[in-house]
Structure 1
Amino acid sequence: MGEIQNNLISSFATCRKCCKVLACDSLKPVLAAVDEHLNVCHHDSVHFDSELPEFRTQGGVHIHADGLTVTAPVLMWVKALDLLLYKMKRVGFDFSRVRALSGSGQQHGSVYWRKGASQTLNQLIPDQKLHRLLRDSFSVCDAPVWMDSSSGPQCLHLEAAAGGALRLAELTGSRAYEVATQRCKGGCFSKAEIFSKRISLVSSFAASLFLGDYAAIDYSDGSGMNLLDIRTKTWSQILLDATAPGLGRLLGAPLPSTSVLGPISSYFVHRYSFSESCRVVAFTGDNPASLAGMSLQPGDVAMSLGTSDTVFLWIQQPRPALEGHIFCNPVDQDMYMALLCFKNGSLTRERIRNECAEGSWEVFSTALRETPLGNNGSIGFYFDNLEITPSAAGVHRFDGDDNKVSWLSPQVEVRALVEGQFLSRRVHAERLGYCIVPGTRVLATGGASSNHAVLQVLSDVFNAPVYTIDMSDSTCLGAAYRALHGTMTSTTTTLKCKNQYCC
């Protein structure tokens, strides 16, 4: 989805007195420790391809011969955690001060536990490494991940079972996409007898390692599976039946994303000197964790302006549609979040810069400053590549009289592009239930967020102040913030990140 990479696990949590928090994520598991003021005290990572070459991955995955099937070795994830914790121990990190831990994992990936794995998790031997202890615990050694696109027929089947694509979206938050975890019914559930115990998402799999037992899937990550009713927050029986017999038993009941699952496994107490009082807060998906890491609040919108543009929204009354994704909110279980992906982002802006602004961002910015807000009615929709939101292609220009034209002057074209892009982001956000409210903030990140003239247009379109943020570790930090949040007695406490006001 968008530019999101192959994320594994993310984040541990807060610590006593100095309130540190740990976290892991991305093409490599990353770990961060934060104090009670949300300051990062420790940061570490493991790169799958270079530090675990025995698994022979590229970008952390295996792309199969059909070009559609994409998987990742489950034991690679486990061994990466072994290595990550070893690195921390080697530099003297004090695990005994960790008060709680949480994490995130790439959405839409799934892990299949073999019968007897629960007993293995409960009886881990502290003087042995996790990847050796769990080597026989998985029914499927290579887990399907979000990049997999081999489940087209299953998507059509699920939409038909729900009563159509729109009905499925209304029920689960989105129409059936090939990335959704229900894909696994095709290749995996054809051997259902080997899945006699448990199916986890990547996030709940990682939580299970720390918990020493099967961890529940949280509402937010679970709502990306096309199986969870996002309003009742229970599995839809119709969709479970359409996917595989007995699937509800294999998934287990979902829990609120803020749930404390229990104390950390004694394995980590004895091997790394974690405190017995350290608590495991439910892990969630990478996108929900990013929302938490950006500290979005009701009415806020975050926009990543990269090769593709990705929009994160905090929504109170969702209106699922055929475009975009609605998830249960990972911070407030009575709220929702939305995700919109737009394929034509910075590359299209760069093309117009080259054609209309002499290849110069300074000239591009001058064009935006010297043309009026609204562009005298001229606007354009620039889909150099087949767009995701909406599904469309081609370049479409309109003058101030709503006539389709083949040419606009260079300065007018620059503003037509930027205003058209941001108006599209707002229109599609509002179709999903997003509302601009007093206090709305726009949080911008990515390459284009360094251009003040572009951000001024963004501010004008959303009629709200724009702040720039660093999202590079938002998934990791979001998991850490959620761990801290999970230990707080007051659910009204808000976590605020540091933003830079732009316009």
Structure 2
Amino acid sequence: MELVAGIDAGTQSLKVLVYDPAARKVVASTSASLELASGADGSREQAPADWVAALNSCFAAIAPAVRSRIVALAVSGQQHGFVPLDAAGQVLAPAKLWCDTSTSAECTQIMDAVGGTAQTIAAAGNPILSGYTASKLPWTKTHRPEAYANLATILLPHDYLNFVLTGERFCEYGDASGTGWLDVRTRTWSPDLLRATDPDRDLAACLPPIAAPEALYDIAPAAAKTLGLPATVKVAVGGGDNMMAAIGTGCVTPGRLAMSLGTSGTLFAYSDTPVVDPEGAWAAFCSSTGGWLPLICTMNCTVVTEQVADAFDFNTRHADGHLRNTPPGADGLVMLPFLNGERTPDLPLGKGVLAGLDTTNMTPAHFYRAAMEGATYSLKYGYDAFVRGGMQFDRIVLTGGGSNSAQWRQLVADVFGLPVDVPTQSEGAAFGAALQALWALGHARGEGASIADITERHVALDPQLSARPDPARGHAYATAYARFLRYLDALTPLQRG
């Protein structure tokens, strides 16, 4: 009769999923939309209070009889966000998010202070890329001096929701590795990166302790009352949305490649050892299960297809017809879909580009196909780096909102030349958080099941949603991808200003 819950605080919405492990089914799922404040300088911010309001709204929409059976929960959250708290736990400023490119100059400043990109990777395993948490601290020091002066604790979005739920300030290895401050090889904060970010204060004093992956905390009485949950609920450490999606797709053992088609696009694969690229071609993150999670992130995925659909006044849920009515390669129309700047390829100041327009392809269907292909080609660009690094995969497990599109599933299979499978639970991050809570609870009870055991038992694939590569289409996409790369190479100097 026991239930576990997963909370996924994303960029566009917050979702709550309640799972029955005995019946192996989701018994409740709710969501609440979130507003994003955007600025012409590339700033992307949200009010943490809105996350809390959305959390309260989601739980209020779940039947009391279901809430009363929840025994453990965990939070998945958008990575890289910067939530500054004062000593009393009050938020000092809006949270700057993963897609905020207004601090790209600060990324360079930090790496220059370490000695350059190569030295930064040597010190911590990752360069400081656009959107990483580290760059937001010096920006805050310059632009929000009062918040900087009163800063006591730096939390990530999922850390902040854990703080609301438990009253405790802590983080975990997976999400912490996306700050840019964590030495991913040793799983400790890098003194060199902290000093390079701010030589005037001890940033280590502002960073919360790092909790073990299987740690459990008690829910705060006030939070339990507000959410209508039992006072005995346990809160697992959770993690970044990519780390939780890795659990939700079963990507917790070597050899499996997962792809998330959400607001951003990601590729990630589990490893038992650190996988650091000396050129910084991928993010050398930690997992939230005790290992590592080499990861490729693009900043523009479903956000691009949705923008095109909005521009032409149609719903993305009914857009597969546009793909069926246009050929692979969109009759030569190419989109560099960098509406939010881009991380892969590394063009934080990049802008979207349409190329190859002619009288045959200037239609809404072609624009939509070019957007979907462009978002997929950006991920292929990152995948090629994985392959050059010696990684090998025999299939892709797909999650995120884009996985609901049959045409996009087939597009991924054809572009990557790999079979595509889709879990029955489409909300990979929320489901992964629920499974992490289940794992941590079992560990505390001495049950001994590993996270791999848990995912083997509970992550099921839907055979009706699988896609297999078609050689003929694959050839056409290879030609179109080569065209995309030529435009990318030609326009990169302009994109870097």
1:227 positional shift: 0.5
Shift of 1:335: 3.0
Asked if 1:252 is matched to 2:212, the reply is no
Once the two structures are TM-superposed, the CA of residue 313 in structure 1 deviates from its matched residue by 2.1
Deviation string 1:297-353 (CA, Å, 9 cap, x unpaired) is 42111234689854222234413233332210122x133332243869998xx9xxx
Please identify which structure carries the higher helix content.
2
| 1:486 equivalent in alignment to 2:440 | yes
Check the 8 A contact 2:106/2:139 in 1, yes or no. Answer: no
Contact 2:263 2:299 in 1 (8 A): no
Q: d(CA) in 1 for partners of 2:9 and 2:121?
A: 29
Aligned match of 2:86 in 92, 111, 114?
114
5 Å-filtered alignment, 1:83-94, equals 83-88=57-62, 91-94=63-66
Overall identity of the aligned pairs, in %? 21
Structure-to-structure mapping, 1:43-192, within 5 angstroms? 43-48=29-34, 60-64=35-39, 66-88=40-62, 91-117=63-89, 137-138=90-91, 140-189=92-141, 190-191=145-146, 192=148
Tell me how far apart the structure 2 counterparts of residues 41 and 422 of structure 1 sit (CA, whole Å). Answer: 33
In structure 1, the partner of 2:168 is 213
Identify the range of structure 1 (492-501 vs 39-48) with the bigger mean alpha-carbon deviation.
492-501
Q: Say whether the 8 Å CA contact 2:282–2:382 is kept in structure 1.
A: no
The structure having more radius of gyration, on CA atoms, is: 1
Q: What are the residue-to-residue correspondences of 1:461-480 with 2, within 5 Å?
A: 461-462=417-418, 465-469=419-423, 472-480=426-434
Contact 1:19 1:98 (C-alpha < 8 Å) held by counterparts? yes
Alignment partners' CA distance in 1, 2:378 and 2:56 = 44
Kindly provide the CA deviation profile for residues 128-165 of structure 1, in whole angstroms up to 9, marking residues without a partner as x.
Answer: xxxxxxxxx22x23221223222123111211233321
Distance of 2:410 and 2:139 partners within structure 1: 49
**Residue 233 of structure 1: aligned partner:** 187
Pick aligned residue for 1:334 from 270, 291, 306: 291
Contact 1:221–1:288, Cα closer than 8 Å, also in 2: yes
Structure 1 unaligned runs (5+)? 1-16, 49-59, 118-136, 351-358, 368-379, 397-413
Change (3 A) 1:444 1:287: closer
> Of 14, 35, 59, which aligns to 1:29?
14
For 2:55 and 2:378, the matched residues in 1 are separated by 41
- The number of aligned residues is 404
**What does residue 474 of structure 2 align with?**
none
Q: Which whole-Å deviations, capped at 9, do the CAs of 1:332-389 have from their partners, x for residues lacking one?
A: x133332243869998xx9xxxxxxxx8737847x9xxxxxxxxxxxx9977467854
Q: Is the 8 A contact 1:324 1:341 kept in 2?
A: no
Partner of 2:229: 274
Output the amino acid matched with 1:312. F
TM-score, normalised to structure 1, is 0.69
- Name the amino acid aligned to 1:35: D
The answer for the alignment partner of 1:322 in structure 2 is 280
For 1:363 and 1:87, how far apart are their aligned partners in 2? 41
8 Å CA contact 2:254–2:272 kept in 1: the answer is yes
Aligned partner of residue 488 in structure 1, secondary structure: helix
**Change beyond 3 A, Cα 1:268–1:420:** closer
- The answer to whether the Cα contact below 8 Å between 2:3 and 2:72 also exists between their aligned partners in 1 is no
Contact 1:172 1:227 in 2 (8 A): yes
Q: Does 1:285 align with 2:240?
A: yes
- For the pair 1:498 / 2:483, whether they are aligned, the reply is no
Deviates more, 1:92-101 or 1:476-485: 92-101
Mark the runs of 5 or more structure 2 residues left unpaired by the alignment: 309-321, 356-369, 444-448, 469-497
Contact 1:313 1:434 in 2 (8 A): no
Q: Check whether the contact 2:19–2:28 (CA below 8 A) recurs between aligned residues.
A: yes
Q: Secondary structure at the match of 2:64?
A: coil
Q: Tell me which residue corresponds to 2:488.
A: none
1:203 paired with 2:163, answer no
| AA matched with 2:229 | F
Compared CA separation, residues 148 and 455, structure 1 to 2 (3 A): closer
Give, in whole Å, the separation in 2 of the partners of 1:116 and 1:47.
Answer: 28
Shift, 1:82, TM fit = 2.9
Supply the AA of the counterpart residue of 1:100: A
Report if aligned partners of 1:328, 1:336 keep a CA contact under 8 Å in 2: yes
Counterpart for residue 475 of structure 2: none
1:262 to 217, 237, 242: 217
Report the CA distance between 1:36 and its aligned residue: 0.9
Say which is worse superposed, 268-277 or 280-289, in terms of deviation: 268-277
How far apart in 2 are the matches of 1:290 and 1:68? 27
Q: CA separation in 1, counterparts of 2:283 and 2:434?
A: 24
1:176 Cα offset (Å)? 1.6
CA contact (8 A) 1:298 1:314 kept: yes
2:483 paired residue number: none
CA distance in 2, matches of 1:344, 1:163: 33
